Amino acid sequence: MPIEITMPSLSPTMEEGTIASWLVSEGEQVSPGDILAEIETDKATMEFEATDAGTVAKILVPAGTENVAVSTLIAIIAEDGEDASGIALPGQNKPEKQAEIVSFPDAPEPNPDIASKAVQSNSRVFASPLAKRIAAEGGLDLSGVSGTGPKGRIVRLDVENALKQPKQAPPRKEPATSETAQFSDLYPEGSYDVVELDSMRRTIARRLTEAKQTVPHFYLRADVELDALLALRSQLNAAASKVEETPSFKISVNDLVIKALALALAEVPDANVTWADGNVLRHRAVDVAVAVAIDGGLITPIIRDAQGKSISAISSEMKDLAERARARKLTPEEFQGGTTSVSNLGMFGVDSFDAVINPPQGTILAVGAGTRRPVVRGEQVEVATVMTVSLSVDHRMVDGAVGAELLTAFKRYVEAPLTILS
């Protein structure tokens, strides 16, 4: 019996993906564990493995197809001993569906009596990937196209028929009102370029909007002296250079910040929490997610059990995670979860900022640049390297006193950095 291969759900939040490439071809034998395809999600490119043995009978969705919904049929595998050439496509007696999946040209003309407006699903037009691609190539806005497919879905013929229609002049814009105006109406046509959001940017926009709307943030700030930590960092890197001509790692300030935050959370476990459907999960291990900028957005790979790892281990692991994050090669387990986050913009010269909490985590630490500032010691004014940090806290889980205790512990570890090594 043929094995249907559908678009997998590679993460809990995945709704659709892009087939970046097929690593098998029709007629090829596959075994469990063989890589069938590379799937791009909003965060990473992941390999999709076969779970059964057989022969690839049909590849239904070509490489490069975007916005393929989870559970969409993308390929068929014939079981061992089954004639792959005789495999029939699902719904073979339905030309309309065949035209959609494998682009057969003999689909029936749409019946205008049953045409209906394309329904919306999560603010997206309900159309097939092929229809979307043809529309994009022809510069056609699908929002005004009627669909004749199942449940009003827009199919290839709908788009082709719409492209044949003479183009009409765009309707004159009515004066904007406070209730009906689109923001684009505020700017003259031709004075801007429209940048469409990719799946990563849409996901970031949705999650951050939800975070600010549903998480009651409050913020705690502290100035932390860095001179002792910078001196320790120099000593550790110098020692590593003496052992290895080309050290496998180079400790950064961010590595030390990760360890200091992890130790502080281990010391204040009431802040090492996440939100779970009206309950609070207090975690035994401290898993620190670290914001990494990548093309089109950011991702937060996680240092697991950071409180128990050495600085060199954190440094090596962080370097590997960051490199694979930028190449979109992380697995979901490497960037989902975490009990806290660190966002460091100090390397970009930002003095201070407030970060948005990454649900379901209870805290995120925003790290600014270390700058030379005057500090008062007793009756003397001296100059020290100081960085400003801001702790964003979810008030549903962590009260002000607990947040202050956490930030005080973090400051103590950074300003007495030998305690980080113990």
- Whether residues 156 and 270 share a domain: the answer is no
Looking up tokens 């045409």, which residue turns up?
A: 115
Question: Which structure tokens are listed for 78?
Answer: 């014939």
Of 68, 90, 112, which one is at a domain's C-terminal end? 90
Q: Write down the catalytic residue from 94, 212, 221, 395.
A: 395
Cα–Cα distance for residue pair 70/14, rounded to 1 Å: 8
Residue 307 inside a domain? The answer is yes
Q: How far apart are CA 217 and CA 208, in angstroms?
A: 12
Q: The CATH number of the domain where 44 resides is what? A: 2.40.50.100
Residue 210 forms part of a structural domain: no
Tell me the three-class secondary structure of the chain, residue by residue: CCEEEECCCCCCCCCEEEEEEECCCCCCEECCCCEEEEEECCCCEEEEECCCCEEEEEECCCCCCCCEECCCEEEEEECCCCCHHHCCCCCCCCHHHHHHHHCCCCCCCCCCCCCEECCEECCEECECHHHHHHHHHHCCCHHHCEECCHHHCECHHHHHHHHHCCCCCCCCCCCCCCCCCCHHHHCCCCCCCCCCCCHHHHHHHHHHHHHHHHCCEEEEEEEEECHHHHHHHHHHHHHHHHHCCCCCCCCCHHHHHHHHHHHHHHHCHHHCEEEECCEEEECCCCCEEECEEECCEEECCEECCHHHCCHHHHHHHHHHHHHHHHCCCCCHHHHCCCCEEEEECHHHCCCCCCCCCCCCECEEEEEEEEEEEEEEECCEEEEEEEEEEEEEEECCCCCHHHHHHHHHHHHHHHHCCHHHHC
Identify whether 75 is part of a domain. Answer: yes
Give, to the nearest 10 degrees, the angle between helix 253-267 and helix 227-243: 120
Contacts of 377 (CB under 8 A, 6+ apart): none
Over the chain (422 residues), what is each successive 10-residue block's mean pLDDT? 85 80 90 88 80 89 88 88 68 42 38 36 56 78 77 76 69 43 78 83 87 95 97 92 75 97 98 94 97 91 96 95 91 92 96 96 97 95 97 97 98 96 76
Torsion of CA 268, 394, 257, 290, to 10 degrees: 130
d(C-alpha 163, C-alpha 299), whole Å: 39
Residues 352 and 416 in one domain: yes
Last residue of a domain, one of 148, 168, 188: 168
Q: In this structure, what token pair is assigned to residue 42?
A: 């909003």
Structure tokens at 129: 């990937």
Instruction: Tell me the C-alpha distance between 344 and 367, whole Å.
Output: 5
Residues 28, 135 share a domain: no
Closest CA to 20 of 7, 29, 2: 7
Q: What is the CATH number of the domain that holds 134?
A: 4.10.320.10
Place of tokens 């950074």: 414
| Residue 69, in any domain of the structure | yes
Count of structural domains, the chain = 3
Task: Quote the domain boundaries for residue 163.
Answer: 100-168
Same domain, 232 and 158: no
Q: How many CB atoms lie within 10 A of CB 215?
A: 21
Give the pLDDT of residue 246: 67
In a domain, 311, yes or no: yes
Q: Is residue 47 part of a domain?
A: yes
Same domain for 118 and 245: no
Q: How far apart are CA 353 and CA 347, in angstroms?
A: 13
319: CATH: 3.30.559.10
Pairing of strands 54-59, 29-30: antiparallel
Say whether both 399 and 308 belong to one domain: yes
Is there a single domain that holds both residue 256 and residue 384?
Answer: yes
Which tokens is 207 given? 């999650």
395 is catalytic: yes
In a domain, 180, yes or no: no
* Whole-angstrom distance, CA of residue 81 vs CA of residue 85: 12
Residue for token digits 């909003």? Answer: 42
- Bond before 129 cis per omega within 30 degrees: no
Cβ burial of 170 (10 Å; 0-12, 13-18, 19+) is exposed
Contact 406, 271 (CB under 8 A): yes
Q: Which two tokens stand for residue 29?
A: 């034998």
- Shared domain check, 384 and 241: yes
Whether 83 and 105 map to the same domain: the answer is no
> Residue 111: what pLDDT?
40
| Domain shared by 129 and 226, yes or no | no
For the chain, how far is it from start to end, CA to CA, in angstroms? 61
Examine residue 71 and state whether it is found in any structural domain, yes or no.
yes
| Residues 135 and 86 grouped into a single domain | no
Residues 46 and 109 grouped into a single domain? no
- Among 38, 64, 90, which residue terminates a domain? 90
